[in-house]
């Protein structure tokens, strides 16, 4: 009987060859029990919440929800041990080093990958969660200097440009390359991907409750059960928002209690 401790690893990269290369490098490690893949930031969020991997190899640059956006969506304390994979130049890489987070620079090398995973295992075995959390916090702090949280969303029309205060938005729903901003009874169409907005919204106010929906927690009046562990949020405008099982833990973490 083999009772050897093995780890579940999630590889996140929007480029299939990059995921395949990472899998090849990790396949030979006897400490890895399962290798999962995600092709974008949103799928990574779902996989982390659903499958709870111990280690994530996370691409920094991805369209839509990027690697830092994944961390912001999940929350620092809920993130697995994270190793960034990046094609950033050496100047940017030094920022990761100063934040005490490991990274692997593309193109991947066997020895560098082995060292990165060994470091991840060391942190797991010795429960360096607090250290990782503090490092991610510093990195996110640096990231937000470059991308401050939104307090207005600019809506351009033919004859005017309107500034929508973010705090007045009840929820945001994805509609392809557009989003629908629900402001009271008003529906405002804005050309932007939902993933692009998520990382710019105040996580204390907005929480993702579905693959296609972000809700303002202050706009929620009450909850109504749906089915199979899912439920609906009824907003102050009367609009109903569905909460999926995948994103339910994020809502529970935001309000600090189970639902």
Q: Select from 94, 85, 86, 80 the least CA-distant residue to 57.
A: 85
What is the biggest distance separating any 2 CA atoms in the chain, rounded to whole angstroms? 73
pLDDT(18) > 60: yes
Tell me the domains of the chain and their CATH numbers: 7-146 (3.40.50.2300), 152-255 (2.40.50.1020)
Lowest-confidence segment of 66-70, 131-135, 191-195 by average pLDDT: 131-135
In this structure, the number of other CB atoms found within 10 A of the CB of residue 108 comes to 17
CA distance 171 to 168: 9
Predicted pLDDT at 129: 47
**pTM of the full structure:** 0.64
* 12 alpha carbon, distance to own chain's centre: 11
Q: How far is CA 108 from CA 24, 48, 222, 240, 256, in A?
A: 11, 23, 49, 46, 40
What span, in angstroms and rounded, lies between the C-alpha atoms of 189 and 27? Answer: 46
DSSP assignment letter at 65: S
Nearest of 122, 50, 28, 140 to residue 81 by alpha carbon: 122
Sign (positive/negative) of CA torsion 42, 47, 52, 56? Answer: negative
What integer pLDDT is reported at residue 98 of this predicted model?
38
Pairwise pLDDT comparison (187 vs 121), residue with the higher score: 187
pLDDT-derived band at 181 (thresholds 50, 70, 90) equals very high
Q: What's the rounded Cα separation, in Å, for the pair 117 and 6?
A: 12
206-224 confidence digits (pLDDT tens): 999 998 999 999 999 999 9
């Amino acid at each position: 009987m083999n009772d050897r401790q093995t780890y579940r690893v999630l590889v996140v990269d929007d480029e299939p060859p990059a995921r395949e290369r990472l899998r090849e490098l990790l396949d030979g490690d006897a400490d890895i029990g399962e290798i999962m893949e995600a092709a974008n930031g949103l799928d990574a969020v779902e996989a982390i919440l659903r499958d709870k991997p111990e280690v994530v190899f996370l691409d920094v640059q991805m369209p839509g929800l990027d690697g830092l956006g994944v961390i912001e969506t999940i929350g620092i304390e809920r993130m697995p041990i994270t190793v960034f994979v990046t094609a950033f130049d050496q100047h940017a890489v030094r920022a990761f080093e100063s934040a005490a987070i490991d990274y692997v620079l593309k193109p991947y090398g066997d020895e560098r990958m082995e060292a990165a995973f060994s470091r991840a295992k060391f942190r797991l075995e010795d429960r360096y969660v607090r250290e990782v959390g503090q490092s991610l916090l510093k990195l996110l702090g640096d990231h937000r200097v470059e991308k401050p949280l939104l307090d207005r969303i600019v809506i351009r029309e033919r004859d005017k440009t309107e500034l929508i205060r973010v705090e007045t938005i009840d929820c945001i729903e994805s509609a392809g390359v557009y989003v629908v901003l629900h402001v009271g009874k008003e529906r405002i169409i804005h050309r932007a991907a939902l993933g692009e907005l998520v990382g710019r919204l105040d996580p204390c106010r907005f929480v993702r409750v579905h693959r296609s929906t972000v809700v303002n927690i202050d706009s929620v009046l009450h909850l109504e059960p749906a089915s199979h562990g899912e439920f609906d949020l009824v907003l102050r405008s009367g609009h109903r928002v569905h909460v999926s099982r995948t994103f339910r833990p994020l809502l529970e973490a935001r309000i600090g209690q189970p639902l």
